[in-house]
Amino acid sequence: MSSILAPIAIGALNDEAGYLAALAIDYIYIPVDFDNPAQADFDAFYTALEQLNGKSIHVHCIYNARVTAFFYRYAIEGLGGDRQQAFNRMDGIWRPGGIWAKFINTPEDGNQKNRYAGFDY
């Protein structure tokens, strides 16, 4: 069975869980306020990934920014991966600033705005 992990918030599809259940796909919804990502959000994401270990999954969010920031942290904190390699993957989508820089522990970008590949750089 496939699983969907969705750290999404505003703009989610109506009854996304219902559509996926009809397709026999597990659905895990982790609401994340884009303006205020929290440690509890990451903890839920981390736990879900650990529980789904070995299963095929699809992770999405409406902006694709949240998901890359979450995977950046998971690559470093969960898998012990290389910070630069994880950053390079995220950088293909965006460079978090402000609250998101704090969330991913890049304080040097805390005074920056969020920048998006192809738009801001």
- CA angle 63/10/57 to nearest 5° reads 55
For 29, the enclosing helix (H) or strand (E) is: strand 26-29
Domain spans in the chain, listed from the N-terminal domain onward: 3-116
Q: How confident is the model at residue 6 (pLDDT cuts 50, 70, 90)?
A: low
When the candidates are 3.40.309.10, 3.90.190.10, 3.40.50.300, 3.40.710.10, the CATH number that belongs to 3-116 is 3.90.190.10
pLDDT of residue 4: 55
pLDDT digits (tens, 9 = 90+) for 67-107: 999 999 999 999 999 999 999 999 999 999 999 999 999 99
pLDDT surpassing 80 at residue 2: no
**Predicted TM-score of the model (pTM):** 0.84
